[in-house]
Amino acid sequence: MAREYLKKATLTSASDAGETQAIVKDILDAIETGREDTARAYAAKFDRYDGNVLLTREEIDAATARVPERLKDDIRFAHDNVRRFAAAQLATVSDFETEVLPGLIAGQKAIPVDAAGCYVPGGRYSHVASAVMTVTTAKVAGCRTITACSPPRPGIGIAPAIVYAADLCGAHHILAMGGVQGVAAMTFGLFGLPPANILVGPGNQFVAEAKRILFGRVGIDMFAGPTDSLILADRTADPEIVAADLVGQAEHGYNSPVWLITDDRALAGRVMELVPALIDDLPQTNADNARKAWRDYAEVIVCADREEMAEASDSYAPEHLTVQAEDLDWWLGRLACYGSLFLGEETTVAFGDKASGTNHVLPTSGAARYTGGLSVHKYMKIVTWQRATRDGAKPVAEATARISRLEGMEGHARTADIRLAKYFPGENFDLTAHE
């Protein structure tokens, strides 16, 4: 049976791409030329903030003192989980060497990037968890300089909980500057900061576009679009929990897609009945976001069986993928395209977003077809090296000379020739190009 859409999206994430590129490029160009003064001017315009930009130790301590102890405990709990998981990831990366041929040794070395810039959203929501996710992984990876950047609030500065989280997790610098100007400050090394080698962390469309434009000059975690979530559910799923999970993700923003794929029509119908009331029960701003996301971007799809469900899920390649179905091991083995996978009713996307340990900076807009999310590996360069004895170099030099001449690269060939002539004088080698 073909997929049956009980609810079909009228818009996609590309529908609201906007004309941001020219705006962002102009701001980046202006700040690169005007440096700190221009960055401050944009901060005054967009953040309505003219306070201290690079937080002092005294300001960090003062912000920390304003954070309730219970909240500190929760942030420490989340940090410990993320740190432990990141450390386990780091243990999977190892330096090695191998003897490719007798006398020819090649190896791999993992080197953390020197300076990381971590963007922490602080506009509509104070994303404490984003500070935990980005700064902690950079610290575990071994980055020597970590800057956390977050939008300040007029007359207040960065939310104290974000300051506390960034400091706890290992940020060496905390920058009170948001949007494109914050990204530019980290990239261009303003305010005495070292220029960032990599930019990570979620943000609005202007932050995402700034990272896209700067990619190549610096590394980035990924190209980001609106957050998205998909639930795979069968007849054993609880429709109230499925509906709550869909609504919980739709509140991210008016253009945040949520999808339900099931092989049980009755479940689908019940979830669709429950969602509107759950949205109405949210605080007004959250409800407005969720209502628009459900109306314009959500989809409910009925499939014939679990294989068709899995195939449909892989075609969406969601950022967050939840399975509320029987035989979880089958789904774990079968599913291939997702940013992060949540198996069973006992876990949910919000756990991963906030405190369970896996990272919440994940690929959106189908990018999970080719990449995973933020991890210690994103902060590391996997480089290679080699060395050889003269005997070990001999067959490689012969093959290199012939292949180079076949390609018309005579200079390359001669770097092999000269070594053969020096190491093995008097020997005759056939170094002509292959016919």
What pLDDT tens digit does each residue of the chain (435 aa) get?
Answer: 678 998 899 887 655 555 789 999 999 999 999 999 999 999 999 999 999 999 999 999 999 999 999 999 999 999 999 999 999 999 999 999 999 999 999 999 999 999 999 999 986 667 899 999 999 999 999 999 999 999 999 988 999 999 999 999 999 999 999 999 999 999 999 999 999 999 999 998 999 999 999 999 999 999 888 999 999 999 999 999 999 999 999 999 999 999 999 999 999 999 999 999 999 999 999 999 999 999 999 999 999 999 999 999 999 999 999 999 999 999 999 999 999 999 999 999 999 999 999 999 999 999 999 999 999 999 999 999 999 999 999 999 999 999 999 999 999 999 999 999 999 999 999 989 766
What distance in Å separates the CA atoms of residue 58 and residue 45, rounded to the nearest whole number?
26
398 three-class SS? helix
380-388 and 104-112 strand pairing:
antiparallel
Give the pLDDT confidence score for residue 125 in this predicted structure: 63
Give the pLDDT confidence score for residue 15 in this predicted structure: 52
H-helix segments, 43-127: 57-65, 69-90
Give Cα 309 to chain centroid, integer Å: 26
Give the pLDDT confidence score for residue 18 in this predicted structure: 59
Q: Which residues pair with 323 in a beta bridge?
A: 232, 343
Tokens of 111: 């080197």
**Residue 320 annotated as catalytic:** yes
Give Cα 358 to chain centroid, integer Å: 12
Which residue in this structure is represented by tokens 């929760």? 74
What distance in Å separates the CA atoms of residue 72 and residue 56, rounded to the nearest whole number?
20
**Residue 79 annotated as catalytic:** no
Q: Are the beta carbons of 132 and 78 closer than 8 angstroms? A: yes
**Termini Cα distance of the chain:** 55
Q: Which is the catalytic residue, given 58, 319, 410, 412? A: 319
- The residue count for the chain: 435
What distance in Å separates the CA atoms of residue 404 and residue 397, rounded to the nearest whole number?
10
Q: Are the beta carbons of 325 and 233 closer than 8 angstroms? A: yes
Q: Are the beta carbons of 400 and 416 closer than 8 angstroms? A: yes
285 three-class SS? helix
Tell me 195's DSSP state: P
H-helix segments, 317-409: 328-334, 349-354, 390-406
Q: Are the beta carbons of 320 and 352 closer than 8 angstroms? A: yes
Tokens of 43: 């901060």
Query: Of 87, 193, 81, which Cα lies nearest the Cα of 142?
Result: 87
What distance in Å separates the CA atoms of residue 260 and residue 258, rounded to the nearest whole number?
7
> Any idea of the CA torsion for 204, 206, 211, 217, to the nearest 10 degrees?
-160
**Can you give the C-alpha Rg of the chain in angstroms?**
26
What distance in Å separates the CA atoms of residue 380 and residue 382, rounded to the nearest whole number?
6
Q: Which is the catalytic residue, given 320, 326, 407, 435? A: 320
**With b meaning 16 or more CB within 10 Å and e meaning fewer, what string describes 281-306?**
ebeeebbebbbbbbbbbbbbbbbeeb
